[in-house]
Structure 1
Amino acid sequence: MSQDILNPTASPTMASSNTNENTWFVVFISCIATIGGFLFGFDSGVINGTVDGLQTAFNSNSVGTGFNVASMLLGCAIGAFFAGTLADVYGRRALLIVSAVLFIISAWGSGIADSSLEFILYRVIGGLAVGAASVMAPAYISEVAPAKYRGMLTTIQQVAIIFGLFMAFVSNYLIADVAGSSVSPLWLDFEAWRWMFWIELAPATLFMFALLFIPESPRYLVAKGKIDAAQNVLSRLYGKDVAKDKAAEIDQSLAQDHHSPKLSDLIDKVSGKVRPIVWVGIGLAVFQQLVGINVVFYYGAVLWQAVGFSESDALLINVIGGGVSIAACFITMALIDKIGRKPLLIIGSIGMTLTLAAMVFAFANSATDASGNLVLGSLGTLALIAANAYVFFFNISWGPVMWVMLGEMFPNQIRGSGLAIAGLAQWLANFAITICFPIMLASIGLAGAYSFYALCALISVFFVIKLVHETKGIELEKMQG
C-alpha cells in the first residue's frame, strides 16, 4: 500500500512561480477562511456559560447535558459529510458561505428559543455549521496555498478554533459579570444567557460578508470545466506566467474518464475496493478523538478542584490552558513546513501516551471522599502537569496536523469525497467518545477510562509510522490515491 499513497515529485510550474506569487493575497484569503475555525470554537464553547440560564428558562435539567452536547455532535457529523460531497458540486467557497448563514441562524435561534426542543434544533443547526466549517476551511486553504507554506496556513485554523473557544469563555464571563448572573436581565430586558448566544452574530456576519471577497478554489473550477475562471484565480495567486500551465496540470490530475468528482471515486476501479488513502484518512480522523482530548477538557474542572484551586481561579486556569494550546499551535506553524507532518504526529502520539500514563498512575493511586469527589493528594500536581503537557502535545500534533493532512493528502479527484468520509468519521468518533465516557467511568473507573485513551495514543504511534506518508512540500496535483 505504501507505494501508491503519495508521489513526492515536485511541481516545476510552482517552483518557477515564486517571484510572481501574491503571498499577501494568499494569506489574506486563508485568514478569512479560518474565521470559520473561530466560529467553530466559539460555538462549541458558548454553551458552557449558559447552562444555568437554560435550565431556569426552560424549567428543565436536561438542557446542556450530555445528550444535547452529543446531538450537536451528530449535527457536526452530518454537516461535515454533506459539506464534503456538496463542495464538489457547488464549490468550496459556496459551502463556506452556507456554513456562515447556518452560524447566524443558530446564534439567533439559540437566543430566542422558548423550549428545550426549539433550543436543541438551533444547536443542531449550529452543529451543521461547525461540521461544514471544520472540513471546508482546511480544504479551501490547501487548494489556494503554495505547498511550501501550506501547512503553516492550514494550522492557523487550529489557532482560530482555540481562540474562538477562549473568546466564548471571556464573552460569557463579561456578560454574566455585567448582568450579575446568566439568568439576570441585561440589554432590552433579555436575560444575559440569550446575549451570550447573540454575541456570535457579529463574527458570523463578518464571516459571511468577508467570504464574498475571496475567490473560488481553482481546483474546483478546473474540475467543473471553468478553465478561464481557474486561470484568473491562479493568476491572482501565483502570477500570470504560470497560471495556464498550472491549470493544465490540475486538469491532468483529474480522472481521465470524467472530470466531475463523485463519491464512487473513492472505490478503486481495478480492485473494486476502497482506496487505501481513504482508510488512512479515516484512521487519522478517528485516532484524533480516541486519544480522549475532549474528555480531558470535560474533566479538567475536577482536576483543578482536587488540587485545591478555588472556584475563582477557574478563569485564570482557563486562560493558562488556552495560552498553552495557542503556544503549541504556533510551534507547529513554525515547524510543520520544515520537519513535516509525520514527525509531529509521532512526537505528539508518544508525548500523549506518556502524559496519559502519568494521569492513569495518579488516578489509580488516588482516593475519594465521602461525597465521591476525587482526592489526589500529593499526586494532584503530577496530574495537573500531565494534563497540561497532554494538551500541549495534542496541540503540536494531532490537533492541527490531522486537519492539515486531511485537507491536502487526497488527490484532486477525491478531495471533497475523502474529506466527507473522514469528517463524518471524526465527528462520529467524537460522539462515541462523549457518550461512552460516563459508561466507562461507571464501569472501569477514571483510571480505566484514561488507560483506554493511553492505549489508543500508543497504537496511533504505530499507525503513523506504518501507514501515514509525508505530504510536506508536495503539490496537490502530485498526491496519489
Structure 2
Amino acid sequence: MSSAPESTANVSVPIRRVVLVAATAALGGFLFGFDTAVINGAVSAIQQEFELGDAALGFAVSSALIGCAIGAWFAGRIADRYGRIRVMVIAAILFVVSAVGCGLAIGVYDLSFWRIVGGLGVGAASVIAPAYIAEVSPPAHRGRLGSLQQLAIVTGIFVALLTAAVIVAIAGSSTTEWLLGLQAWRWMFLAEIVPAVVYGLLALTIPESPRFLVARGELKRAREVLTRYVGGDIEKTTTDIIKTVEGKSDRPRFSILRGGKFGLLPIVWIGIGLSVLQQFTGINVIFYYSSTLWQAVGFTEQDSLTITVITSVTNIVTTIVAIMLIDKVGRKPLLLVGAIGQFACLLVLAIVFATATVVDGSPVLEGAAGPIALVAANLYVVFFGVSWGPVVWVMLGEMFSNKIRALALSVAAAAQWGANFVISTTFPALASVGLGLAYGVYTFFAFVAIFFVLRFIKETKGRTLESMTD
C-alpha cells in the first residue's frame, strides 16, 4: 500500500473492541497466576505424599520458576521472529502438558519436571502479554489495558486458590482420594487444562501485533490492525514505527541490548530493577506459602485456605482500583505510594513475628498479634495490588523502544522469575530460623524500592511507544 486514504487520519477506535483483544492476550496472565498459585493448596499434601524436608519442599514449590526464567528469556526472540500469536499458542500447549503431568506425578522429581514445563509457559506468557497489549492499545488507554494483565494474573491466583478450597471442602482434605481414585491435590493441577485450552483457541482469533508486522515488512496488514485497534493518525504512526524498527534483524540478538557503563543499556537495567524489586518484597511468599503459614500460627487447613482466598480477592479489588487510576495519576506516583505502604506493612509483620512466642519451633501469635498480622498482610497486598503488581507489567510493556521491546522485556522478565525463585526457595529456610528474619529481609528491599523509584523511574503516561528511547 503506497499511501493511506485521508479517512485513515485520526481514526477513532471503539474501546470495547480493543478491550476484547487485550483481554484475550491477558488470558495468558490468568494461566500465569493459576499455574504459579495452584501449588499453594497442595503444598502440605505434597510434603506428606513424598515425605519431603524443607529444602526439597522449597524446590518442589519453586521449580516452576526455573522454567519461568527460561521461558521468559527465549520468548522475546521467538516473538520477534515468528510473531506474538504463535508464542501464545505455544504457551497454551505447555500449560496443558504441565497440568496433566503434575496431576499424574508419581514422585517429587517428575512433579518438579512438569512444574518446570508449566513454568516455560508462564515465562512466555509473562513476556508476550504486556508486549502485545502495549502494541495494540491506543496511548490514552494503554495503562488501563496493560493493567488487564495483572488483573488476569490475580484472578488466576484467586481461581486457583478457590479451586483448592472447594476441592478440599468437598473431598475432606487435600490428601483424600477423590474422583477417579486420584487424591484431591492432584485435581487442583488437572483443573488447569480447561483455561489452557480456551487460551490457545482464543489466541488464534486475535490479530498479530502491528509493530511485528511492520518489522516484517507487512505494511498493509499493519495499517489494517492500527486502523481497527489503535486509531489516531495511522499513516504517521506507521511511519514512526518504521523509523524505530530500522536495522532490526529477522534473527533478533541480545547484542542490541548492550551499551552503557555496565554492559547493558541503562533502560534495560531499570527494567531489571523494577522486576527484581517487585519480587524481593516477598509478594509471592503470600501466594505460595500463605495457607501453610497461617496453619503454622494456629489456623486450621480449611480456615487457612479461606484466608488465602480472601487475600486474593483483596488483590483483585486493588488491581481494579489501579486500572481506574493508572492513566490518570500516572505510573511513578503509584509505584512510590506502593513502595512506602509495603515497607510499613512488612515492618509491622517483621516486628510481630520477631516478638512472637515460639512453641515447638513455630511462632504462636497471641492476643492482638494474630489480627494485627492478618491486617498487615492484607494491607500489604492492597499496596502491592494498587501499584507494583500492575504498574511494573505496564511499564515493562511500554518503557522500551520498538527495536528492543521484546528482547528487553525477556531479560527483565527472566530477572523477575530468577528473583522469584530466590525468594520462594529461601523462604522455608529463612522461616525455619524465624519469620521475623524473613519479613525483615523483605522490609529492607521495600525500603530500597522507595529510593529506586525516586531516582530512576520516569513517567510514561500518555507517551506513544515510538517516543520511547533506548
Q: TM-score, normalised by structure 1?
A: 0.89
5 Å-filtered alignment, 1:446-465, equals: 446-465=435-454
Offset, 1:125: 0.5
Instruction: Measure the CA separation in 2 of the matches of 1:297 and 1:211.
Output: 27
Offset, 1:41: 1.3
Q: Secondary structure at the match of 1:412?
A: coil
Q: Is the contact made by 1:223 and 1:261 (CA closer than 8 Å) also made in structure 2? A: no
Is 2:373 the counterpart of 1:396?
no
Instruction: Measure the CA separation in 2 of the matches of 1:440 and 1:175.
Output: 30
CA pair 267-322 structure 1, distance change in 2 beyond 3 A: same
**Which residue pairs with 1:247 in the alignment?**
238
CA pair 304-66 structure 1, distance change in 2 beyond 3 A: closer
Offset, 1:428: 0.7
RMSD: 2.6
Instruction: Measure the CA separation in 2 of the matches of 1:259 and 1:313.
Output: 53
Offset, 1:378: 3.0
**Which residue pairs with 2:150 in the alignment?**
158
Q: Is the contact made by 1:46 and 1:169 (CA closer than 8 Å) also made in structure 2? A: yes
5 Å-filtered alignment, 1:462-473, equals: 462-473=451-462
Q: For 1:262, which of 223, 232, 253 is the aligned residue?
A: 253
Is 2:270 the counterpart of 1:280?
yes
Offset, 1:181: 4.1
CA pair 169-259 structure 1, distance change in 2 beyond 3 A: closer
Instruction: Measure the CA separation in 2 of the matches of 1:48 and 1:314.
Output: 11
Instruction: Measure the CA separation in 1 of the matches of 2:244 and 2:357.
Output: 60
Offset, 1:215: 0.6
Letter in 1 for 2:238: A
Q: Secondary structure at the match of 2:403?
A: helix
Q: Secondary structure at the match of 1:96?
A: helix
**Which residue pairs with 2:405 in the alignment?**
415
Is 2:369 the counterpart of 1:379?
yes
CA pair 387-36 structure 1, distance change in 2 beyond 3 A: same
Letter in 1 for 2:111: F
Instruction: Measure the CA separation in 2 of the matches of 1:100 and 1:335.
Output: 31
Offset, 1:52: 5.7
CA pair 193-362 structure 1, distance change in 2 beyond 3 A: closer
Judge which range, 390-399 or 194-203, deviates more: 194-203
Is 2:327 the counterpart of 1:337?
yes
Offset, 1:145: 0.6
Q: For 2:189, which of 191, 197, 200 is the aligned residue?
A: 197
Q: Is the contact made by 2:40 and 2:287 (CA closer than 8 Å) also made in structure 1? A: no
**Which residue pairs with 1:354 in the alignment?**
344
**Which residue pairs with 1:172 in the alignment?**
164
Q: Secondary structure at the match of 1:337?
A: helix
Q: Is the contact made by 1:362 and 1:376 (CA closer than 8 Å) also made in structure 2? A: no
Judge which range, 459-468 or 307-316, deviates more: 307-316
Offset, 1:340: 0.5
Q: Is the contact made by 2:168 and 2:302 (CA closer than 8 Å) also made in structure 1? A: no
CA pair 322-232 structure 1, distance change in 2 beyond 3 A: same
Instruction: Measure the CA separation in 2 of the matches of 1:435 and 1:309.
Output: 24
**What's the CA shift string for 1:152-205, capped at 9, x where partnerless?**
111111121111112112222333444444444444444433333222111111
Offset, 1:85: 2.1
Q: Secondary structure at the match of 2:463?
A: coil
Q: For 1:140, which of 122, 132, 146 is the aligned residue?
A: 132
Instruction: Measure the CA separation in 2 of the matches of 1:86 and 1:16.
Output: 33
Q: TM-score, normalised by structure 2?
A: 0.91
Instruction: Measure the CA separation in 2 of the matches of 1:195 and 1:311.
Output: 17
Q: Secondary structure at the match of 2:233?
A: helix
Instruction: Measure the CA separation in 1 of the matches of 2:254 and 2:432.
Output: 40
Q: For 1:43, which of 35, 39, 56 is the aligned residue?
A: 35
Offset, 1:405: 0.4
Q: For 2:423, which of 423, 433, 442 is the aligned residue?
A: 433
Q: Is the contact made by 1:232 and 1:243 (CA closer than 8 Å) also made in structure 2? A: no
CA pair 72-315 structure 1, distance change in 2 beyond 3 A: closer
Q: List alignment gaps of at least 5 residues for structure 1.
A: 1-12
Letter in 1 for 2:226: L
Q: Secondary structure at the match of 1:20?
A: coil
Instruction: Measure the CA separation in 2 of the matches of 1:476 and 1:343.
Output: 20
Instruction: Measure the CA separation in 1 of the matches of 2:202 and 2:452.
Output: 39
**Which residue pairs with 1:9 in the alignment?**
none
Offset, 1:16: 6.0
Q: List alignment gaps of at least 5 residues for structure 2.
A: 1-5
Q: For 1:293, which of 276, 283, 295 is the aligned residue?
A: 283
CA pair 460-106 structure 1, distance change in 2 beyond 3 A: same
Is 2:81 the counterpart of 1:89?
yes
**Which residue pairs with 1:479 in the alignment?**
468
Q: Secondary structure at the match of 1:373?
A: strand
Letter in 2 for 1:425: A
Letter in 1 for 2:437: G
Q: For 2:68, which of 62, 76, 91 is the aligned residue?
A: 76
Count matched residues: 463
Judge which range, 407-416 or 363-372, deviates more: 363-372
Offset, 1:231: 1.5
Q: Secondary structure at the match of 1:368?
A: strand
Letter in 2 for 1:464: V
Instruction: Measure the CA separation in 2 of the matches of 1:22 and 1:429.
Output: 39
Q: Secondary structure at the match of 2:205?
A: coil
Offset, 1:294: 1.9
**What's the CA shift string for 1:251-300, capped at 9, x where partnerless?**
011245767643111124x9894211011001001111111212344554
Instruction: Measure the CA separation in 1 of the matches of 2:295 and 2:173.
Output: 22
**What's the CA shift string for 1:438-481, capped at 9, x where partnerless?**
443455x3323322211211111111111111111101010011
Instruction: Measure the CA separation in 2 of the matches of 1:45 and 1:172.
Output: 10
Q: Is the contact made by 2:400 and 2:469 (CA closer than 8 Å) also made in structure 1? A: yes
